[in-house]
Amino acid sequence: MALRIEDYALIGNCASAALVGRDGSIDWMGMPRFDSEAFFAALLGTADNGRWLLAPADGNPSTARRYRPGTLVLETDFETDTGKVRIIDCMGRDGNGNVIRVVEGLTGSVKMQMELVIRFGYGLMMPWVSRAEDGRLTAVAGPERLTLTTSVEIEGIAMRSVAEFKVEAGERVCFVLTWTPSIEPPPEPIDALAAIETITRGWQRWSADFDPALFGPHAELVLRSLLTLKALTHYQTGGIAAAATTSLPEAIGGARNWDYRYCWLRDATLTLTALEKSGFRDEARQWCAWLRRAIAGAPQQMQIMYGLAGERRLLEYEIPWLSGYEHSQPVRIGNAASEQLQLDVFGEVMGALHEARRLGLLEDNWPMERALVEHLETIWEQPDAGMWEIRGMSQSFTFSKVMVWVAFDRAIRNIEEFDLEGPLERWCQLRERLRLEILERGFNAKLNSFTQYYGGEELDASLLLIPATGFLPADDPRIVGTVAAVERELLRDGFVLRYRTATGVDGLAGDEGAFLACSFWLVDAYVGQGRMEDARALFERLVGLCNDVGLLAEEYEPRKKRQIGNFPQAFSHVALINAALSLQSGQDIAETIA
Ligand SMILES: OC[C@H]1O[C@H](O[C@H]2O[C@H](CO)[C@@H](O)[C@H](O)[C@H]2O)[C@H](O)[C@@H](O)[C@@H]1O
């Protein structure tokens, strides 16, 4: 069985990623892209679905792990009765991507085991494993090839490649697993030790732009969050994956299991804002370029999410041969949310592009934005699936309408601030009409709160974001009332739920945990209302949920005290960064969505 989600750490090369367990097993990985078919899929099944174990052979070693500061180079120390070893894990881009694993003897002598089980096609396809002319192990199935370079003697036993070897203090044993298309020549061998140092320096150069003073006492965790966002950003395309995994469940044993290895405009736009506010302008520029390419075309065909290079067909299907994380089924590939109408996305896109223009990162894009807003004029009154991507009946979600307001507002500001052409008066009238409509139909005076959707009586954590849009300030009595209502209705064991699943609004069976981003938004709301003690206390509680290497999944199950949902998730880390920023500056994140 796979480990607890928080027992994994992320390594990656800004094109694909892998999860390394505390036990030394890489249980999730595909190459060359985040959304490639995994060849290690034990995370969602068993060891027979592919994994790469490298660990002491005997006993029950104690482990401690960390990233090298400012990098995605992971060090796991194993202490046994006979000695101590360190495994250094990281990924590079030699070939079409590789994993480098080095066992370093620290003290004594440790007997090690290695078990490599490659199953291409999400844990299903057994490859043909053979020796290349130079003696290296190669595994081929159809279009894919993996090549293992090591000095260790490997045996094939029961469809697995295994080895046992001893590591003495001061000794280093290297393994490099490289992915290449099978039609290309095998990869050139590399110097693993030199590559690790180069990769370390590359990440540290990136981290050098980080200014801890902006973030206060938890600056180190913020840097880890930024590194995680960077790791989820595809270096060539600029597309940002929402998470490194598919189908880690929102409730253990449940069916709310989705594929997050794609680029959501919402998540990515918020990621861009967090990166930019943290001083990482190049990423912001790259993202703008990605966005322009992805949404280029007919505005009515804009999607809420795309593949990493802007691919549009993300057909959702189930893969029944994987038993699911702790038997949480189904395991899904692709995501049908790509076909939904989610009106908030227009606000996020227009907000991000307006901000990019203000920062001088955007030129000549206005005709496309104008076309998008003109299209929005024709559809904004429709009910939608909302930012939570419900699969039940569409509704007029209040937050969606607020984000429609944002889209018109930023379009107007673009015209006014940058002297651009557009139907200013018509859009001003629409914006005002929306404002009045939202205040009338999205606010319930009896509850003294905004509601999940027009005319409803339920709460929704997305409403906590209203001050960040500029629609109303954080200290407006209607916002204060909404925050109080969220505290009353959506807090579970001190963490915020997205909404009450029991109402059936999402059309899905079962429950889910507390959505971590929402709890961070409550921190922002407290800061906005000057409730600094509450803000600090909640923030401390939340950062206490980060695993030993600073990573967060999408959700937390307070009763079982464990992380759940896809991992690590950009949304959670973006919210952590913004909350740290707002706590440090002592004010709400006015217009984070802009
Ligand atoms: O729970 C239902 C939905 O869950 C996923 O969506 C969530 O993750 C997205 C990516 O981080 C985020 O943008 C969205 O706001 C979240 O609700 C899933 O992708 C959906 O298909 C599913 O309906």
Query: How many angstroms separate the alpha carbon of residue 372 from the centre of ligand 1?
Result: 23
Residues 482 and 557 both lie in one domain: yes
Atom of ligand 1 nearest to the CA of 243: 11
Residue 480 has what pLDDT? Answer: 98
Residues 215 and 189 both lie in one domain: no
CATH number of the domain that residue 199 is part of:
2.70.98.10
In a domain, 590, yes or no: no
Residue 363 has what pLDDT? Answer: 82
Q: Is the CB of 284 under 6 A from ligand 1?
A: no
Atom of ligand 1 nearest to the CA of 267: 13
Average pLDDT over residues 463-467: 97
Enclosing H/E stretch for 443: strand 443-444
588 has pLDDT over 60: no
Residues 186 and 230 both lie in one domain: no
Q: Is the CB of 507 under 6 A from ligand 1?
A: no
> What domain count does the chain have?
2
Average pLDDT over residues 441-465: 98
Query: How many angstroms separate the alpha carbon of residue 518 from the centre of ligand 1?
Result: 13
Task: Name the pLDDT band for 268 (thresholds 50, 70, 90).
Answer: confident
Nearest CA to ligand 1 atom 3: 389
Atom of ligand 1 nearest to the CA of 259: 19
Q: Which residue type does 590 have?
A: A
In a domain, 116, yes or no: yes
Task: Please tell me the distance from the alpha carbon of residue 241 to that of residue 288, in angstroms, as a whole number.
Answer: 15
* Ligand 1 mutation target, pool 332, 388, 552, most atoms within 8 A of CB: 388
In a domain, 593, yes or no: no
Nearest CA to ligand 1 atom 10: 242
End-of-domain residue from the set 150, 180, 205: 205
Q: Is the CB of 201 under 6 A from ligand 1?
A: no
Closest by Cα among 113, 136, 239, 242 to 185: 136
Task: Please tell me the distance from the alpha carbon of residue 224 to that of residue 125, in angstroms, as a whole number.
Answer: 35
Query: How many angstroms separate the alpha carbon of residue 383 from the centre of ligand 1?
Result: 18
Query: Reduced to 3 states, what is the DSSP secondary structure of residue 384?
Result: strand
Question: Is residue 273 within 8 Å of residue 348, measured between CB atoms?
Answer: no
Q: Is the CB of 203 under 6 A from ligand 1?
A: no
Nearest CA to ligand 1 atom 22: 389
Average pLDDT over residues 223-229: 97
Query: How many angstroms separate the alpha carbon of residue 534 from the centre of ligand 1?
Result: 28
CATH number of the domain that residue 377 is part of:
1.50.10.10
Residue 586 has what pLDDT? Answer: 79
Task: Please tell me the distance from the alpha carbon of residue 104 to that of residue 112, in angstroms, as a whole number.
Answer: 11
For residue range 228-250, list pLDDT tens digits in order.
999 999 999 999 999 999 999 99
Query: How many angstroms separate the alpha carbon of residue 125 from the centre of ligand 1?
Result: 29
Task: Please tell me the distance from the alpha carbon of residue 433 to that of residue 538, in angstroms, as a whole number.
Answer: 37
Q: Which long-range contacts (CB under 8 A, 24 or more apart) does 148-153 make?
A: 148/116, 148/175, 148/176, 148/177, 149/174, 149/175, 149/176, 149/177, 149/178, 149/189, 149/190, 149/192, 150/174, 150/175, 150/176, 152/114
Residues 192 and 323 both lie in one domain: no
Residue 63 has what pLDDT? Answer: 97
Task: Name the pLDDT band for 361 (thresholds 50, 70, 90).
Answer: confident
Q: What angle do CA 377, 381, 385 make, to 5 degrees?
A: 115
Residues 63 and 185 both lie in one domain: yes
433 CB neighbour count, 10 Å cutoff = 13
Q: Is 491 exposed, middle or buried (0-12, 13-18, 19+ CB in 10 A)?
A: middle
Tell me how far CA of residue 310 lies from CA of 17, 223, 233, 589, in angstroms. Answer: 19, 28, 13, 29
End-of-domain residue from the set 154, 172, 205: 205
Query: How many angstroms separate the alpha carbon of residue 76 from the centre of ligand 1?
Result: 32
End-of-domain residue from the set 157, 179, 205: 205
Total-model pTM: 0.96
Question: Is residue 543 within 8 Å of residue 556, measured between CB atoms?
Answer: no
Q: Helices 281-295 and 265-277 sit at what angle, rounded to 10 degrees? A: 160
Q: Is the CB of 266 under 6 A from ligand 1?
A: yes
In a domain, 306, yes or no: yes
Q: Retrieve residue 137's tokens.
A: 């192990």
Residues 283 and 387 both lie in one domain: yes
- Backbone φ and ψ for 61, nearest 5 degrees, come out as -65, 150
Q: Retrieve residue 453's tokens.
A: 């959707």
Question: Is residue 114 within 8 Å of residue 175, measured between CB atoms?
Answer: yes
Residue 324 has what pLDDT? Answer: 98
For residue range 423-448, list pLDDT tens digits in order.
999 999 999 999 999 999 999 999 99
Q: Is the CB of 264 under 6 A from ligand 1?
A: yes
Residues 183 and 261 both lie in one domain: no
Atom of ligand 1 nearest to the CA of 391: 23
Residues 190 and 228 both lie in one domain: no
In a domain, 245, yes or no: yes
Q: Retrieve residue 381's tokens.
A: 């009154």
Q: What angle do CA 237, 33, 323 make, to 5 degrees?
A: 140
Average pLDDT over residues 510-526: 96
For residue range 40-60, list pLDDT tens digits in order.
999 999 999 999 999 999 878
Task: Please tell me the distance from the alpha carbon of residue 546 to that of residue 464, in angstroms, as a whole number.
Answer: 22
Task: Please tell me the distance from the alpha carbon of residue 527 to that of residue 467, in angstroms, as a whole number.
Answer: 11
For residue range 314-330, list pLDDT tens digits in order.
999 999 999 999 999 99
Residue 537 has what pLDDT? Answer: 97
Residues 177 and 250 both lie in one domain: no
Host domain of residue 320: 209-585
In a domain, 447, yes or no: yes
For residue range 533-578, list pLDDT tens digits in order.
999 999 999 999 999 999 999 999 999 999 999 999 999 999 999 9
117 has pLDDT over 70: yes
Residues 129 and 155 both lie in one domain: yes
Query: Reduced to 3 states, what is the DSSP secondary structure of residue 49?
Result: helix
Residue with the bigger pLDDT between 592 and 269: it is 269
Query: How many angstroms separate the alpha carbon of residue 389 from the centre of ligand 1?
Result: 6
* Ligand 1 mutation target, pool 248, 269, 338, 389, most atoms within 8 A of CB: 389
Task: Name the pLDDT band for 275 (thresholds 50, 70, 90).
Answer: confident
- Residues near 8 by Cβ (< 8 Å), separated by ≥ 6? 19, 20, 21, 22, 27, 28, 43, 547, 551, 567
End-to-end alpha carbon distance in the chain: 43
590 has pLDDT over 50: no
Q: How many residues does the chain have?
A: 594
Residue with the bigger pLDDT between 587 and 350: it is 350
DSSP 232-272: TB-TTT--B-SBS-B---SSTT-S---B--SEEHHHHHHHH
For residue range 470-506, list pLDDT tens digits in order.
999 999 999 999 999 999 999 999 999 999 999 999 9
Residues 222 and 240 both lie in one domain: yes
Task: Name the pLDDT band for 592 (thresholds 50, 70, 90).
Answer: low
Task: Please tell me the distance from the alpha carbon of residue 540 to that of residue 519, in angstroms, as a whole number.
Answer: 11
Is the ipTM above a cut-off of 0.85? yes
In a domain, 165, yes or no: yes
Residue 362 has what pLDDT? Answer: 86
In a domain, 591, yes or no: no
Atom of ligand 1 nearest to the CA of 305: 13
Residues 159 and 278 both lie in one domain: no
460 has pLDDT over 60: yes
